[in-house]
C-alpha cells in the first residue's frame, strides 16, 4: 500500500462545548487539517468520508449535515457507519483504486449534546434478546471483564493501573480532556457500575473533531515533507451475539491485526512496533487489546502493565496520548485520536510526550458495547 | 486518474418486498445474501469481505444497526463496512463494494442492502421526524413529503410540466412491476387513477408515492480473474459516481438535481461515455415519487432539462421504447425498502444485462445506469453496468 | 428477479398480525434525548428572531448573504465576515399544500408550506416556513409575502416566533 497521511487538524478535546455547534467545530478542525496539508478542499480534495452514527448525533441521516463545513459541497462525500479508523481505511481503499489522489477523513464527537447516553447504548442491544433487563448497558462490559479476569488471572488492580497510567500520560497532552494525577486507590475505591467494572474503569465522554488528509504516494511526496505512511490496515467484526462470544480475548482485534501485520510485513510485533495507541473504552479493554495485537503473550498484559512495560518510558509505550481514559472518549472519533497520536509521534511533533526513535506504530480501535468490531492500522514514518 | 482493476458482478439476490415481513432485519439480510451467493454458485467461504447498505437506524429501532445485522449478512469474523448516504445508500452500497475490490485489497465482496421499515410506529414516516435540523426545521413539525412537494412544484413551475405527464410514470412503473415477482404494488392503472387519487401534499397525490416496505437485496462482486472462474457472463461495474450537495436545501434551486448530474458525470467519465442518451440502453433512475424519475432522467443527462416528461408522454421510456426507464417497475411498483430498493435497481441491471429478466427483458441491453437519491434532496449515487 | 431464481423468500404479515398481542413483536421506545448546541450562528439567529428580526451572514469573497446564517461559506470555504439583517419580506420560491401531519396522519385543514426567498438575502437564498391568512387558490410562485410575528412577549427564540408568512396587500 502506498497511501500517506499528509495533514491533520483537530479541536481540543473537552468534556462539554455548549457554546459552539458541531458544524463550527468541524470547520475549525478542517481548516487546520487542510492548512497542514497545504490543500484547498474546493479544488484539491477528491473525496470526503465521515464516521458517524445517527443515534450519537440525535439525527436520522446525519450525512445530510456533513458537506458544508468540510468544503465538500457537490463533491463525492459519504458516511461510514463505523469508527474513524474504518472511515480512514475506506478512504485508503478509495485512493488505492486509482480514482482519487487526495481524500479527507472526518470523525467527531458531540457527546455533550446527548442527555441519555446509557439509553443510546441500550438501543444498540438486540431488541428481542438483550433489551428486556432494564439495566445499565455496561453490564455487557462487566460480564466480559469478569470472564477476562477469571480466565487470564488478571487482577482489578492491574486494570486500575491502566487508568492511572493513561490519566498521567494525558497530563502531557495539551489536547486531553481528562488528564489527572490519580492513585490506584482512587480507581479501586470508586463505585461499581457493573461489578467488577467501576466508574473510573470507564472512559469519560468528551467532545472533539479530528480531520485528516490522505494522499497517494506521488501526491504525498509533493504535499508533505513528513508524510506518515499507512503500511497495513485490517478490520473485523466478530459475532454480534453477546452470548456466544469469546469474552476472554478480543478476537476481532486479533483478526484485524493479523491482516494489517501481514500487509505491513510485521512478523514480530513486539520487536517491530515502537509504540501503540489502542482502544481503552474500559481499562481492561486496553489489556485485552494489547494481547490481541500480539504486543505480549495472552494473559500477560496486566502483569506487564503493572511493571511499567507500557508506560511512556517503558519498553513498548501504549496510549501515550492518554487514550479514551485520559484524552476523553470521543465515540467514533477516538479511533482517529489514536491515529492522530501516531502521526504526531512519527513526525516528531508530540512535544513533551515525544517517544524517542519511533519509526513504526500501531493504532487500534473498538466500537464499544455491544459490538465486537474494530480496526487496526500500522503506520510508519518510512515508506 | 485511471482505475486499477475492473470489478464484476457475478450474482444477485432479492427477497419479497412487502409492507410488513415476518423476518427480522438479520433474517432478511440472510435471505438476500444467500440467494445472491446461490446464483453465483458461491458460498460464504468464497467471500473476502462484506459491505452493508441500510438507511436510518430509526426504522429498525437499533442503534448501530449494521453491527446487529452483520451475521445475517454473513460478515461474522470478516472485514465489514457500512456505507451510508441516506436514501442514496442502495446504489451506493455496490460502489462501496467496488472500491473494496478495485483497490486490490480483496478479490470478492458480498454487498447486502436491508431495510425493515415496519417496526417504526405509528408510521415509518415517524422516523423522518428526526432527519431535520433540530434548531431551525424541527420546530415547524415537518412531514418529509412536504419537501418533495416543494421540489415537485418548483420543477413543474419552472418547465411548465403538466401533471398528466408526471402521472404516466406511475402507470408505467406499476405496470412494469406486474412482471416482477418481488413486487408490492404492481397494478394496471390509468393516468386518471393517479390524477384522481387522494391529495397527500399537493402536488403529490397518493399514486405519486412509493410505499414503505420491508425487504433486502444482495450482489456478489469479484475481481476480473475470480469472475472468470465462476461465470461466463459477468456484468462489469464500469462507472461509479456520487455527489453530495449543501445541507441548506432552501438555498438551492430545486428545479434541477445538480448533485445527480455531478455523480453521473463522474460515472460516465469513468465508463468513457460521452453521449449518454445514445450510449445507455436503459436506466433505473430513482423513483420514490413519480416526478423524481423525470427529474433524475434529466440529472442523469439522459434528457434535456424539462424534457423528460415529454419523452415519457411519447413512450420513449416504456420497456419497449428507445430508452426504457425502470423496466423493473421501480420503487413505485416493486416497493421502497429504502436501501434494498436502490440495490434492487442494480440487481435489475445485472439480470437485464445477462438476458435473464424474463418478461421484463429489454432487448439488446448492453449498458445500464442505476441511480439513487437521498438525504435532504441532496445526494446522487450512480453506477454504470455493462455486459 | 431473475427467471432462473424460482424461490422467492419472505413471509408477509398483515397490519392485524402486527397489532395482535402475540409473540410476533417486542415493543420498546428508545430513551434518546438530546440538547443540541445551537452554536454561534444559530444562537444569534434565534436571539434576533426573538427581537423580531432576521439575521444572516455575508461572505465578502462571493458577496452572498446567507440565511439561515453560518460562520463559514460552503462555496469559498472560509469564515463568513459579518452579520447582515435581511427583511421580513420576500417572494414564494415554491410551495405545497399538506394534508398530512408529521406522523403521516390525514388532516382536514391543510398546512401551507413554502420556501420564501427573503428580500435582502442573495438570490435563491430562502427559508422554509408556513403560509397563513391567504386564499389557497391565489398562492403562486413569485407571490410577495411578509412575516407575521408572534407578539413580543410570546417570542421564545425559535423559528416559530414567526407565525407564518402572509401575502403583502397590493397598495
Ligand atoms: Zn463565499
Q: Does C46 touch chain B (CB under 8 A)?
A: yes
Going from the Cα of C78 to the center of ligand 1, the distance in angstroms, rounded, reads 7
Looking at the structure of chain A, the number of domains it has is: 1
Q: Is residue A49 part of a domain?
A: yes
Residues of A contacting chain C (CB within 8 angstroms): 17-24, 27, 34, 40-42, 55, 58, 67-69, 71, 73, 110, 112-116, 118-120, 122-123, 127-128, 131-132
CA distance B345 to B332: 12
Q: Does B200 touch chain C (CB under 8 A)?
A: yes
Percent of chain A, pLDDT > 90?
97
Local structure of residue B348 (DSSP, 8 states): H
pLDDT at C21: 66
Query: Which residues 144-163 in chain C show a CB within 8 A of chain B?
Result: 158-160
Nearest to B101 by CA among A98, A231, A93, A77: A93
- Over B45-57, what HEC string results? HHCCEEEEECCCH
A22 chain-C contacts, CB cut-off 8 A: 37, 39
Joined together, the cell numbers standing for residue A93 give: 481503499
Q: How confident is the model at residue B166 (pLDDT cuts 50, 70, 90)?
A: very high
From C76's Cα to the closest Cα of chain A, the distance in A is: 7
Contact A371 B67 (CB under 8 A): yes
Find the domain containing A80 and state its range: 3-115+205-223
pLDDT at C101: 87
Q: Does A115 touch chain B (CB under 8 A)?
A: no
Residues 6 or more apart in contact with residue B370 via CB below 8 angstroms: B91, B283, B284, B285, B342, B345, B346, B348, B349, B382, B383, B385
Q: Which of B14, B63, B199 has the CB atom closest to C1's CB atom?
A: B14
Q: Is residue A72 part of a domain?
A: yes
Helices (H), B321-372: 330-334, 338-353
Contact C28 A27 (CB under 8 A): no
Going from the Cα of A73 to the center of ligand 1, the distance in angstroms, rounded, reads 12
Tell me the C-alpha to C-alpha distance, in Å, between residue B137 and each of A111, B33, B118, C129. Answer: 22, 38, 25, 9
Tell me the domain boundaries of chain B: 7-121+210-386
Percent of chain B, pLDDT > 70?
100
Going from the Cα of B378 to the center of ligand 1, the distance in angstroms, rounded, reads 20
Nearest to B106 by CA among A294, A265, A97, A135: A97
Q: Does C32 touch chain A (CB under 8 A)?
A: yes
Local structure of residue C58 (DSSP, 8 states): E
Q: Is residue A195 part of a domain?
A: no
Q: Does A124 touch chain B (CB under 8 A)?
A: yes
CATH topology of domain B7-121+210-386: Peroxisomal Thiolase; Chain A, domain 1 (3.40.47)
Torsion of CA B185, B186, B192, B193, to 10 degrees: -40
pLDDT tens digits, B61-79: 999 999 999 999 999 999 9
How many helices (H) and strands (E) would you count in chain C?
2, 10
- Which chains touch A (3+ CB pairs under 8 A)? B, C
Going from the Cα of C67 to the center of ligand 1, the distance in angstroms, rounded, reads 13
Under a CB-based contact definition with an 8 Å cutoff, are residues B185 and B333 in contact?
yes
Local structure of residue B374 (DSSP, 8 states): E
CA distance B155 to B295: 8
C101 chain-B contacts, CB cut-off 8 A: 141, 143
Check the CA dihedral C2-C7-C9-C11 and report its sign: positive
C111 chain-B contacts, CB cut-off 8 A: 146
- Over chain A, what HEC string results? CCEEEEEEEECCCECCCCCCCHHHHHHHHHHHHHHHHCCCCCCCCCEEEEECCHHHHCCCCHHHHCCHHHCCCCECEEEECCCHHHHHHHHHHHHHCCCCCEEEEEEEEEHHHECCHHHHHHCCCCCCCCCCCCCCCCHHHHHHHHHHHHHHCCCHHHHHHHHHHHHHHHCCCCCCCCCCCCCHHHHHCCCEEECCEEHHHECCECEEEEEEEEEEHHHHHHHCCCCEEEEEEEEEECCCCHHHCCCCCCHHHHHHHHHHHHHHCCCCHHHHCCEEECCCCEHHHHHHHHHHCCCCCCCCHHHHHHCCCCCCCCCCCECCCCHHHHHCECHHHHHHHHHHHHHHHHCCCCHHHCCCCCCEEEEEEECCCCCCEEEEEEEECCC
CA distance A248 to B20: 40
Q: Which of C34, C38, C75 has the CB atom closest to A21's CB atom?
A: C38
Contact C45 B15 (CB under 8 A): no
Answer yes or no: is pLDDT of B1 > 70.
no
pLDDT at C3: 63
Joined together, the cell numbers standing for residue A357 give: 526513535
pLDDT at B232: 94
- Which chains touch C (3+ CB pairs under 8 A)? A, B
Q: Which of C30, C34, C76 has the CB atom closest to A123's CB atom?
A: C30
Burial class (CB in 10 A: 0-12, 13-18, 19+), B30: buried
CA distance B32 to B24: 12
Residue-wise burial string across A180-189, b where 16 or more C-beta atoms lie within 10 A, e elsewhere: bebeeeebee
Under a CB-based contact definition with an 8 Å cutoff, are residues A256 and A234 in contact?
yes
Q: Does C36 touch chain A (CB under 8 A)?
A: yes
Report yes or no for ipTM above 0.85. yes
Tell which phi-psi region holds residue B79, choosing left (phi > 0), alpha (psi between -120 and 50) or beta. Answer: beta
CB atoms within 10 A of CB C4: 10
B97 chain-A contacts, CB cut-off 8 A: none
Residue whose C-alpha cell reads 467496488 in the numeric block: B98
Contact C74 A113 (CB under 8 A): no
Contact C72 A112 (CB under 8 A): no
Under a CB-based contact definition with an 8 Å cutoff, are residues B93 and B341 in contact?
no
pTM more than 0.80: yes
The least confident of A217-226, B246-255, B279-288, C27-36 is: C27-36
Q: How confident is the model at residue B26 (pLDDT cuts 50, 70, 90)?
A: very high
Q: What is the CATH number of the domain that holds A23?
A: 3.40.47.10
B372 strand-pairing partners: B381
C45 chain-A contacts, CB cut-off 8 A: none
pLDDT tens digits, A284-338: 999 999 999 999 999 999 999 999 999 999 999 999 999 999 999 999 999 999 9
Would you mind telling me the total number of residues written for chain C in this entry? 171
Contact B81 A97 (CB under 8 A): no
A81 chain-B contacts, CB cut-off 8 A: 52, 64, 66, 82-84
Those residues whose beta carbon sits under 5 angstroms from the ion ligand 1 are C 59, 61-62, 73, 75-76
Q: Which of B2, B68, B83 has the CB atom closest to A98's CB atom?
A: B2
A75 chain-C contacts, CB cut-off 8 A: none
Contact B64 A367 (CB under 8 A): yes
CA distance B68 to A125: 8
Q: How confident is the model at residue B117 (pLDDT cuts 50, 70, 90)?
A: very high
Identify the segments of chain A with pLDDT beneath 50: none
Identify the segments of chain C with pLDDT beneath 50: none
Amino acid at each position: 500500500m502506498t497511501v500517506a497521511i499528509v495533514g491533520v487538524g483537530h479541536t481540543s478535546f473537552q468534556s462539554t462545548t455548549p457554546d459552539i455547534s458541531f458544524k463550527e467545530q468541524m470547520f475549525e478542525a478542517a481548516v487546520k487539517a487542510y492548512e497542514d496539508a497545504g490543500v484547498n478542499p474546493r479544488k484539491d480534495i477528491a473525496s470526503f468520508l465521515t464516521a458517524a452514527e445517527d443515534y450519537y448525533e440525535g439525527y436520522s441521516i446525519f450525512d445530510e449535515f456533513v458537506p458544508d463545513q468540510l468544503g465538500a459541497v457537490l463533491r463525492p462525500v459519504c458516511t461510514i457507519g463505523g469508527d474513524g479508523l474504518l472511515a480512514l481505511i475506506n478512504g485508503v481503499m478509495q485512493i488505492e483504486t486509482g480514482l482519487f489522489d487526495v481524500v479527507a477523513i472526518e470523525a467527531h464527537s458531540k457527546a455533550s449534546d446527548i442527555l441519555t447516553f446509557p439509553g443510546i447504548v441500550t438501543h444498540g442491544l438486540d431488541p428481542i434478546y438483550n433489551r428486556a433487563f432494564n439495566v445499565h448497558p455496561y453490564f455487557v462490559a462487566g460480564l466480559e471483564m469478569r470472564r477476562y479476569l477469571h480466565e487470564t488471572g488478571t487482577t482489578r488492580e492491574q486494570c486500575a493501573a491502566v487508568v492511572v497510567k493513561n490519566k498521567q500520560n494525558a497530563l502531557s497532552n495539551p489536547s486531553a480532556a481528562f488528564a489527572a494525577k490519580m492513585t490506584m486507590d482512587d480507581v479501586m475505591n470508586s463505585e461499581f457500575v457493573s461489578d467488577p467494572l467501576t466508574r473510573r474503569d470507564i472512559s469519560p465522554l468528551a467532545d472533539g473533531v479530528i480531520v485528516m488528509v490522505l494522499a497517494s504516494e506521488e501526491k504525498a511526496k509533493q504535499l508533505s515533507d513528513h508524510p506518515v505512511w499507512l503500511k497495513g490496515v485490517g478490520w473485523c467484526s466478530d459475532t454480534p451475539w453477546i452470548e456466544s462470544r469469546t469474552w476472554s480475548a478480543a478476537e476481532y482485534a486479533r483478526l484485524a491485526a493479523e491482516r494489517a501485520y501481514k500487509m505491513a510485513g510485521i512478523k514480530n510485533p513486539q520487536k517491530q512496533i515502537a509504540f501503540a495507541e489502542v482502544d481503552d473504552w474500559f481499562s481492561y479493554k486496553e489489556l485485552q487489546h494489547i494481547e490481541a495485537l500480539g504486543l505480549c503473550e495472552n494473559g500477560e498484559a496486566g502483569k506487564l502493565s503493572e511493571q511499567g512495560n507500557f508506560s511512556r518510558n517503558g519498553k513498548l509505550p501504549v496510549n501515550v496520548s492518554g487514550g479514551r481514559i485520559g484524552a476523553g472518549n470521543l465515540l467514533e472519533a477516538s479511533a482517529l485520536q489514536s491515529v492522530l497520536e501516531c502521526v504526531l509521534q512519527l513526525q516528531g511533533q508530540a512535544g513533551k510526550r515525544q517517544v524517542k526513535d519511533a519509526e513504526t506504530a500501531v493504532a487500534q480501535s473498538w466500537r464499544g458495547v455491544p459490538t465486537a468490531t474494530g480496526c487496526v492500522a500500522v503506520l510508519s514514518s518510512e515508506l | 486518474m485511471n482505475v486499477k482493476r475492473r470489478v464484476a458482478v457475478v450474482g444477485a439476490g432479492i427477497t419479497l418486498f412487502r409492507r410488513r415481513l415476518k423476518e427480522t432485519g438479520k433474517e432478511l439480510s440472510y435471505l438476500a445474501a444467500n440467494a445472491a451467493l446461490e446464483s453465483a454458485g458461491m458460498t460464504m467461504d468464497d467471500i473476502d469481505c462484506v459491505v452493508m447498505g441500510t438507511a436510518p437506524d430509526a426504522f429498525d429501532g437499533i442503534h448501530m444497526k449494521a453491527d446487529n445485522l452483520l451475521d445475517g449478512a454473513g460478515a461474522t469474523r470478516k472485514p465489514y463496512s457500512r456505507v451510508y448516504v441516506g436514501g442514496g445508500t442502495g446504489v451506493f452500497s455496490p460502489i462501496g463494494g467496488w472500491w473494496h475490490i478495485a483497490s486490490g485489497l480483496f478479490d470478492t465482496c458480498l454487498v447486502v442492502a436491508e431495510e425493515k421499515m415496519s417496526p417504526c410506529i405509528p408510521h415509518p414516516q415517524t422516523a423522518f421526524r428526526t432527519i431535520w435540523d433540530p434548531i431551525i426545521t424541527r420546530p415547524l413539525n415537518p412531514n418529509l413529503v412536504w419537501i418533495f412537494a416543494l421540489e415537485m412544484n418548483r420543477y413543474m413551475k419552472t418547465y411548465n410540466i403538466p401533471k398528466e405527464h408526471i402521472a404516466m410514470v406511475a402507470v408505467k412503473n406499476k405496470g412494469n412491476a406486474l412482471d416482477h415477482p418481488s413486487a408490492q404494488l404492481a397494478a394496471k392503472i390509468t393516468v386518471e387513477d393517479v390524477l384522481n387519487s387522494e391529495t397527500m401534499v399537493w402536488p403529490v397525490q397518493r399514486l405519486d408515492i412509493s410505499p414503505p416496505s420491508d425487504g433486502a437485496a444482495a450482489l456478489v462482486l469479484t475481481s476480473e480473474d475470480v469472475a472468470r472462474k465462476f461465470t461466463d457472463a459477468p456484468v462489469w461495474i464500469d462507472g461509479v459516481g456520487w455527489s453530495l450537495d449543501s445541507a441548506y436545501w432552501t438555498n438551492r434551486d430545486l428545479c434541477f438535481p445538480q448533485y445527480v448530474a455531478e455523480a453521473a458525470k463522474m460515472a460516465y467519465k469513468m465508463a468513457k461515455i460521452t453521449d449518454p442518451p445514445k450510449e445507455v440502453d436503459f436506466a433505473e433512475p430513482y423513483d420514490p415519487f413519480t416526478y423524481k424519475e423525470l427529474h433524475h432522467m434529466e440529472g442523469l443527462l439522459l434528457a434535456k432539462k424539462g424534457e423528460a416528461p415529454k419523452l415519457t408522454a411519447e413512450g420513449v421510456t416504456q420497456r419497449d421504447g428507445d430508452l426504457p426507464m425502470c423496466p423493473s417497475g421501480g420503487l413505485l411498483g416493486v416497493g421502497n425498502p429504502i436501501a434494498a430498493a436502490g440495490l434492487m435497481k442494480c440487481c435489475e441491471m445485472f439480470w437485464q444485462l445477462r438476458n435473464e429478466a424474463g418478461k421484463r427483458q429489454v432487448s439488446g441491453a448492453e449498458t445500464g445506469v442505476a441511480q439513487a437519491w437521498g438525504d435532504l434532496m441532496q445526494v446522487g449515487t450512480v453506477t454504470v453496468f455493462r455486459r | 428477479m431473475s427467471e432462473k431464481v424460482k424461490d422467492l423468500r419472505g413471509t408477509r404479515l398483515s397490519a392485524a398480525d402486527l397489532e395482535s398481542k402475540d409473540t410476533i413483536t417486542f415493543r420498546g421506545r428508545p430513551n434518546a434525548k438530546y440538547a443540541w448546541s445551537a452554536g454561534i450562528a444559530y444562537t444569534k439567529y434565534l436571539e434576533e428572531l426573538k427581537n423580531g428580526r432576521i439575521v444572516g451572514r455575508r461572505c465578502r469573497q462571493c458577496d452572498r448573504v446567507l440565511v439561515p446564517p453560518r460562520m463559514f461559506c460552503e462555496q469559498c470555504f472560509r469564515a463568513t465576515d459579518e452579520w447582515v439583517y435581511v427583511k421580513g419580506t420576500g417572494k414564494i420560491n415554491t410551495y405545497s399544500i399538506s394534508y398530512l401531519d408529521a406522523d403521516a396522519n390525514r388532516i382536514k385543514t391543510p398546512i401551507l408550506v413554502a420556501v420564501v426567498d427573503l428580500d435582502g438575502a442573495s438570490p435563491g437564498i430562502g427559508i422554509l416556513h408556513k403560509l397563513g391568512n391567504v386564499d389557497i387558490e391565489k398562492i403562486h410562485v413569485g407571490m410577495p409575502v411578509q412575516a407575521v410575528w408572534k407578539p413580543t412577549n410570546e417570542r421564545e427564540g425559535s423559528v416559530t416566533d414567526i407565525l407564518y408568512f402572509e401575502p403583502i396587500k397590493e397598495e
